[in-house]
Structure 1
Amino acid sequence: MADKPNCKVVLANNIAKSLLREVQDGLQKIGRKPLLVGFLSSSDPAAKVYAEWTGKTAKENGFEFELREIDRELLEDALLDANNDPRVDGIIVYYPIFGNRQDQYLQQIVSIDKDVEGLSHKYVFNMYQNIRFVDDANLKKSILPCTPLAVIKILEYLRIYNTILAYGNRLHGRTITVINRSEVVGRPLAALLANDGAQVYSVDINDVQEFTRGEGLRKKRHEVSEKPGWNINDCLPLSDVVISGVPGDKYKVPLEKLKEGAVCINFSSERNFTPEVKEKASIYVPAIGKVTIVVLLRNLLNKIDATTEPSSEKATQEKAAQTTA
């Protein structure tokens, strides 16, 4: 079946290129190659691929990268050593490892000064509370988790964010469905989108929750309400944007309920949308992995920038140019 000409398929590589220019500008200001260390203690094939992509993208773009494959029983000590190593600028750990609360513990082992994934408690707290900076002067940005931030950067690239509106309100009037409520991606993404003004339906296997800042964006941060009796079929006809990240190859978004002209983004390693999505969607992004890695490098640069005290002139400029992430 031929693709309908009104559906634009946007590849992650094209979006990543625009972000890489920003990364290159940041590297020139630093004047050295930052060292990112990745820890692989997982047999998950997707984690291995992500690690390889990270290393390739980092090295191609002027960063140093070391992949350390560590037995999971030795990982805690290895992380503590990296925390104390002045050569190491950033740390990424490829999850899942134990697949339980021990993974959450390991996330807190990584020093907040070297956490480029936004998994430290302080960053998670700030994200859900819609606190965008870690200092009172609003100069040091709070680090956001890479995959949710990659989706946000894609939405900005696609002009889903309305740049006429004030920062923090630029998704006002948008209705978005996020299919996935994992603690790593789905729930943070729903919170971030709602904090930027969207009405978000968070769809899990058992229920639907609504994330919103209230009528007229009255709230400073999002609140969550249950939608009793709702399922994916209730959300899709209302949604301007549908973002899906269900793991595995069995789940497919029910396209018959999809709103005509919706924007569809897939962040699962498998395709959650069948090819027929192009018959109804206006824009389709089939994968986001390359954007996620560039966002990781961007987070690393933000960490390094935050360790240097800006001049008063630069501080004034940065504060005037606050961005959504």
Structure 2
Amino acid sequence: MILLDGKTTAAAIRAEVRDEVARQKAMRGRAPGLAVVLVGQDPASEVYVRNKVKACEETGIVSRKLTPPENIKQVDLEALILELNADPDIDGILVQLPLPLGLESQSILDLIDPCKDVDGFHPVNIGRLAAGLPGLRPCTPAGCIELLKRHNLPTRGKRAVVVGRSNIVGKPLAMMLMQSGEYADATVTVCHSRTADLAAEVRRADFVFAAIGKPRFITAEMVKDGAVVVDVGINRTESGLQGDCDFEGLWGKVAAITPVPGGVGPMTIAMLMQNTLAAFKAHLEM
């Protein structure tokens, strides 16, 4: 049985990015630049942003943290995004979600230059994913696929079930699994709160991706022997952080599983670093 250790895998990816950033800086005269916009003082968002800034420091990417006040007007936040779009030293723009009440998230995300959209949330990048064209991919789904690649667990010809249909994880992950390639080419089923007999759907899967936001929702009885389980969930409970899967119950029954924490979470930030590097290279080649 394989423990899909995202922490170790992400560290290896960050090291690769660091080496390439150093090479690019020596060749082009500057390092990639990432702008991180954190509106207000949400404690969870501050932790996420701190981890992203730390990863930038580790990889040599220049991070610029911008912290507008919680009461910023929509028009002023939009103006800030347009400034960053025009800044030649900024290659990637990340707006930490959720935004405070009163601010319209989608209109802000839509304003980001698709070439600087390192979160991969812009409709242009989602459209390119749906069409099978190159582009910046959402970081968490990309991290799930990369974790499988680094552990030699191809999905080609396999049944995959994605539990959850969010725009951030479920939908883009399903689209990635339907692309052509060794770590795609899956027969994909997307399950959600309205799925009839969800347990039966999950039980058919060779690969289970859980992104539903309910602690320990996927139990051993719902998963067939020898399946691969990728747990995207991270739920704060009285007993600590829990994934969407019953890790202890599944251990020993499945062929591979991600821990929570230390599974998909670190991969998300590693893929953000990869996206920023890719955006930098594309920016300088324009």
Fold in common (TM above 0.5)? yes
**Matching residue of 2:238:** none
Asked if the contact 1:42/1:96 (under 8 Å) is kept, the reply is: no
Deviations for 1:117-139, whole angstroms, at most 9, x for unmatched residues? 1222221111111122xxxxxxx
Question: If the length of structure 1 is used for normalisation, what is the TM-score?
Answer: 0.75
**Matching residue of 1:303:** 279
**Matching residue of 1:242:** 208
The residue correspondences of 1:204-219 to structure 2 (distance < 5 A) are 204-207=192-195
Code of the aligned partner of 2:258: V
**Matching residue of 1:85:** 87
1:179 is aligned, of 163, 179, 192, to: 163
- Describe the shift of the 1:98–1:128 C-alpha distance in structure 2 as closer, same or farther (beyond 3 A): farther
1:38 is aligned, of 31, 36, 39, to: 36
**Matching residue of 2:230:** 265
Which structure 2 segments of 5+ residues have no match? 236-242
**Residue 91 of structure 1, CA deviation:** 0.7
SS of residue paired to 1:307? helix
**Residue 157 of structure 1, CA deviation:** 1.3
Question: If the length of structure 2 is used for normalisation, what is the TM-score?
Answer: 0.85
**Matching residue of 2:240:** none
- Describe the shift of the 1:45–1:282 C-alpha distance in structure 2 as closer, same or farther (beyond 3 A): farther
Code of the aligned partner of 2:14: L
The residue correspondences of 1:214-293 to structure 2 (distance < 5 A) are 230-249=196-215, 252-270=217-235, 271-274=243-246, 275-286=248-259, 287-293=263-269
**Matching residue of 2:177:** 193
Whole-angstrom distance in 2 between the partners of 1:238 and 1:46: 36
Asked if the contact 2:219/2:250 (under 8 Å) is kept, the reply is: no
**Residue 17 of structure 1, CA deviation:** 2.5
Code of the aligned partner of 2:210: S
Whole-angstrom distance in 1 between the partners of 2:164 and 2:79: 32
**Matching residue of 1:202:** 190
**Residue 99 of structure 1, CA deviation:** 7.3
Code of the aligned partner of 1:283: A
Asked if the contact 1:41/1:97 (under 8 Å) is kept, the reply is: yes
Which piece of structure 1 moves more, 286-295 or 67-76?
67-76
- Describe the shift of the 1:128–1:51 C-alpha distance in structure 2 as closer, same or farther (beyond 3 A): same
Whole-angstrom distance in 1 between the partners of 2:94 and 2:284: 22
**Residue 177 of structure 1, CA deviation:** 1.1
- Describe the shift of the 1:308–1:40 C-alpha distance in structure 2 as closer, same or farther (beyond 3 A): closer
Asked if the contact 1:179/1:203 (under 8 Å) is kept, the reply is: yes
Whole-angstrom distance in 1 between the partners of 2:197 and 2:175: 19
Provide runs of 4+ in structure 1 moved above 3 Å: 42-46, 98-101
Which structure 1 segments of 5+ residues have no match? 1-6, 133-141, 162-170, 208-229, 311-325
- Describe the shift of the 1:262–1:45 C-alpha distance in structure 2 as closer, same or farther (beyond 3 A): farther
**Residue 25 of structure 1, CA deviation:** 3.4
The residue correspondences of 1:54-93 to structure 2 (distance < 5 A) are 54-70=52-68, 71=70, 72-73=72-73, 74-93=76-95
